Structure 1
Amino acid sequence: MYSRGNKEDYNHWASLGNIGWTHEELLPYFKKSEFAKFDVDIEPQYHGFSGPQTIDVAEDTPGLTELFLDAAKELGAIQLDYNGKSQNGTSRVQAYLKGNVRSGTSQAYVRPAQDRPNFHLQLNCLVTKIVIKNSTAVGIRFIRNGKLYSVKAKKEVIVSAGAVNTPQLLMLSGIGPRRELEKHGIKPVAFLPVGQYLQDHPIFPGMVFRTNQVYYNTSFEQQVNDFCENKRPLTAGWGFQCVTYITLDNKPNRRPDIELLTIGPPAMSPAWGAVLQYNEEYAAAFQILNPLTDFMNTLLLLNPFSRGEVTLKSKNAADLVQINPNFFSDKRDLQIMYRGIEKALQLMHTKAYKNFKAEWLRIPMPGCDEAFEYFSKEWWICIVKHLSVPCFHPIGTARMGPSPNISVVDNELKVHGICGLRVVDASIMPTHISGHPNAAVVVIAEKASDLIKRDYENNKPDCRR
């Protein structure tokens, strides 16, 4: 999904002391990375048309896509380009979509560069440590096929391992919270809040409807033929139909609180609960789903107050880290999610839903059905706690900021107190964005590339000389 977030997300980053990170300063990078191929509801001045990643809109599911748009508009949402001037409204989903497959960063950036003489790619490697001498990153160590290797850095080391593995690697290299390094007997290099301030988007997939229509009840052969013509249902997109960004206090220029994402057939299969890795009892509850008739309204909490952490299990790089998203530890998040549910429930009473005979599908909720009155606030909060899962949008574990007391990197993504070491991934985001982080991560990388080139274009001496 291609959702840049709200311009105030980035202005907020800048207000925290991160000079150079306003939306106005980042918009050229969004445009640089994008090849906008769609024309529905597009505001061209906010998009790029020559970048490496193709952004497109999947074909409509006949009758169904328009239903979702009409229902949202009945409730006052404006149909718009949510990556344009204003985000608050409803739209078809813009996606990383090139023909019938995902337009990923590997396809767009890595493969075109793989034959360059100054580019060397090693697969199936596990980086175990950043080598730091005299507060300067001088290389890395990694394991490949059971053998330990070392690589020296001529200028600097760039870590792009993501919001989970980047903090692990930094801590294994001696950069992290004092208590975490001491706990695992790691020699400290710099005490920084690595792994702290973790944020993710909780997503609540508990609002399912059943229509009296049947979709994509065709042979596999026919679906493959449709795929070759860039048609649903096998085209990349996972059943995403429409997205609505909701600001609960109805102020037009404020960051939205909730993303309402509608997922249509055939994504709603009986395996849904297993896909989300619910326990056996809850996974069984979703087996009543019918992939030919059912759709789901999912709610994503965009700007959570709760903070989690990533910590080490041991000082062995092969051991997975411990991730505590700490969802709903701040009770304000639950209240915002419930208010979003109240808003989404209004869709049931729209003419669009009634004309389409879209009916609520009651799914058994063990632990909640017997404890609370069905559809009461207490019941909803109970199932939100039981069903909400990470959207796999982790950020913030090596957050950017001017103070080493509450951040890990500065506004040039350089690790505080360590020469020759940058972090370039979602972990540097100081707070979450009101959208999916894919596009923002690409922009972080594009901006980092310019920062690096600027540092060395005039043979600027670095701190190791």
Structure 2
Amino acid sequence: MTTPLTNTFMEGGKELGFDNIDCNGGKEEGFCHAQFNTANGVRCSTFHGFLKPAMGRINLHVSTESVATKIIMQGRQAVGVEFIRDGRKHRVHTAKEVIISGGSVESPKLLMLSGIGPKKHLNSLAIPVVADLPVGENLQDHLVLGLAHCINQSISITLEKATSLSSMLQYQILGTGNMFQNLVSLQNIFGDEVIVVDNHFDIQCNFKCNISKTFFQVSEKYYHCSGEGFVNLVVLLHEKSRGTITLQSTDPFDPPLIGPNYLEHPDDTNTYIKGIRTHQKLMATSAFRKLGITKQEPLSACSDHVYDTDEY
């Protein structure tokens, strides 16, 4: 579903020379309406799309409210998993393989708790080393900067509009309306306008025309308005900086220590500045100017630098 704000975004992209594209088409540089898997007006997750329909299979067992604490090793071979559920430890053995899908944080954490990781780090916690591997030493995270603007027209999806009785009824009965809007309304990927390295695009922007309570709090403090507005999320795609994941203890319920090292590599900083400058060019297009968007005001945390310079 498109809105006046999403249409403005597409028009602004055209003014900058970008094509309106299909996100999953042959060309990736340009502006497009974000695509999602939905069913009956809600996001169709992997669980709803694939796992739930297979719940009746005799070879599938799903354990919810469970925390994996250790991979059971036999020599250097994974043969099972230990997990805690309802305060009790359980052990599950496998005839073939163990697949870890805990994400970029929980996966290395579980591996290191099981003795698979940097020898020096594991020895410091008295964890027997099964395999000395650089687990947790190559964290790559997409840095996201939210640039918010208020507007003087009633065309964004505010919290009040989304939770109004009419919106709720429209969503419940027809599966449409303001509550149907996904988190990200449009996407654009910048290539030559920003910088291209190894034929990869380095900056992506996700445009949100639905405003959260957090935006209200921030906008009132920094932009002196409340209600109508939008956020453009500037995302660094192919960062060169590398972070780390380490254990703070052998307790599987202790969260790991995350050292993201954002912008450690100077190329990431330079790319991000170009991404912000492209955002500013987009806000200066006639498509956005007619909305009466507010200017970004200086932040006190950056007062040591001249406003809107690269250093700022």
The letter of the residue matching 2:254 is: D
Deviation (angstroms), 1:134: 2.1
Q: Do 2:216 and 2:226's aligned partners in 1 also have CA atoms closer than 8 Å?
A: no
Residue of structure 1 aligned with 2:279, choices 329, 333, 344: 344
Q: Do 1:347 and 1:353's aligned partners in 2 also have CA atoms closer than 8 Å?
A: yes
Structure 1 residue 221 and structure 2 residue 154: aligned? no
**Identity rate of aligned residues, in percent?**
29
The letter of the residue matching 2:204 is: E
Measured against aligned partners, the alpha-carbon deviations of 1:65-88 in whole angstroms (never above 9, x if no partner) come to 211101101101011112111100
The letter of the residue matching 1:285 is: K
Residue of structure 1 aligned with 2:58, choices 117, 121, 126: 117
Deviation (angstroms), 1:268: 4.7
Q: Distance in 2 between matches of 1:113 and 1:171?
A: 32
Deviation (angstroms), 1:283: 9.2
Judged with a 3 Å threshold, the aligned counterparts in structure 2 of structure 1 residues 109 and 365 are, in CA distance, closer, same or farther, namely: same
- State the match for 1:306 in structure 2: 241
Task: Report the secondary structure of 1:367's partner residue.
Answer: helix
Q: Do 1:88 and 1:252's aligned partners in 2 also have CA atoms closer than 8 Å?
A: no
The letter of the residue matching 2:188 is: T
- State the match for 2:137 in structure 1: 196
Superposition TM-score, scaled by structure 2 size: 0.90
- State the match for 1:285 in structure 2: 221
Judged with a 3 Å threshold, the aligned counterparts in structure 2 of structure 1 residues 283 and 361 are, in CA distance, closer, same or farther, namely: closer
1:68-217 superposed matches below 5 A: 68-216=9-157
Deviation (angstroms), 1:364: 5.1
Q: Distance in 2 between matches of 1:183 and 1:273?
A: 46
Residue of structure 2 aligned with 1:245, choices 186, 189, 196: 189
Q: Distance in 1 between matches of 2:197 and 2:66?
A: 48
Q: Distance in 2 between matches of 1:371 and 1:273?
A: 27
Q: Distance in 2 between matches of 1:321 and 1:251?
A: 34
The letter of the residue matching 2:282 is: L
Q: Do 1:209 and 1:360's aligned partners in 2 also have CA atoms closer than 8 Å?
A: yes
Judged with a 3 Å threshold, the aligned counterparts in structure 2 of structure 1 residues 103 and 154 are, in CA distance, closer, same or farther, namely: same
Judged with a 3 Å threshold, the aligned counterparts in structure 2 of structure 1 residues 153 and 236 are, in CA distance, closer, same or farther, namely: farther
Which structure 1 residue ranges, 5 or more long, are not aligned? 1-58, 275-281, 380-465
- State the match for 1:366 in structure 2: 300
- State the match for 1:230 in structure 2: 175
Q: Do 2:298 and 2:307's aligned partners in 1 also have CA atoms closer than 8 Å?
A: no
Deviation (angstroms), 1:231: 2.5
Superposition TM-score, scaled by structure 1 size: 0.62
Structure 1 residue 255 and structure 2 residue 200: aligned? yes
Q: Distance in 2 between matches of 1:173 and 1:67?
A: 52
- State the match for 2:251 in structure 1: 316
Q: Do 1:140 and 1:152's aligned partners in 2 also have CA atoms closer than 8 Å?
A: yes
- State the match for 1:446 in structure 2: none
Count of residues in correspondence between the two structures: 307
Residue of structure 1 aligned with 2:267, choices 308, 332, 337: 332
Q: Distance in 1 between matches of 2:70 and 2:153?
A: 57
Residue of structure 2 aligned with 1:272, choices 189, 197, 215: 215
The letter of the residue matching 1:373 is: V
Measured against aligned partners, the alpha-carbon deviations of 1:209-262 in whole angstroms (never above 9, x if no partner) come to 423334456472111022232333211512x22211101457799321111221
Judged with a 3 Å threshold, the aligned counterparts in structure 2 of structure 1 residues 181 and 95 are, in CA distance, closer, same or farther, namely: same
The letter of the residue matching 1:264 is: C
Deviation (angstroms), 1:157: 1.4
Q: Distance in 1 between matches of 2:220 and 2:101?
A: 38
Judged with a 3 Å threshold, the aligned counterparts in structure 2 of structure 1 residues 82 and 121 are, in CA distance, closer, same or farther, namely: same
Q: Distance in 2 between matches of 1:294 and 1:174?
A: 49
Q: Distance in 1 between matches of 2:152 and 2:274?
A: 25
Judged with a 3 Å threshold, the aligned counterparts in structure 2 of structure 1 residues 119 and 335 are, in CA distance, closer, same or farther, namely: same
Deviation (angstroms), 1:346: 1.0
Which structure 2 residue ranges, 5 or more long, are not aligned? none
Q: Do 1:75 and 1:347's aligned partners in 2 also have CA atoms closer than 8 Å?
A: yes
Q: Distance in 2 between matches of 1:337 and 1:273?
A: 25
Deviation (angstroms), 1:190: 0.5
The letter of the residue matching 1:366 is: S
The letter of the residue matching 1:365 is: L
Deviation (angstroms), 1:372: 2.2
Judged with a 3 Å threshold, the aligned counterparts in structure 2 of structure 1 residues 227 and 72 are, in CA distance, closer, same or farther, namely: same
Q: Distance in 2 between matches of 1:126 and 1:252?
A: 40
Task: Report the secondary structure of 2:68's partner residue.
Answer: strand
Judged with a 3 Å threshold, the aligned counterparts in structure 2 of structure 1 residues 364 and 268 are, in CA distance, closer, same or farther, namely: farther
Q: Distance in 2 between matches of 1:80 and 1:110?
A: 32
Q: Do 1:285 and 1:365's aligned partners in 2 also have CA atoms closer than 8 Å?
A: no
The letter of the residue matching 1:197 is: N
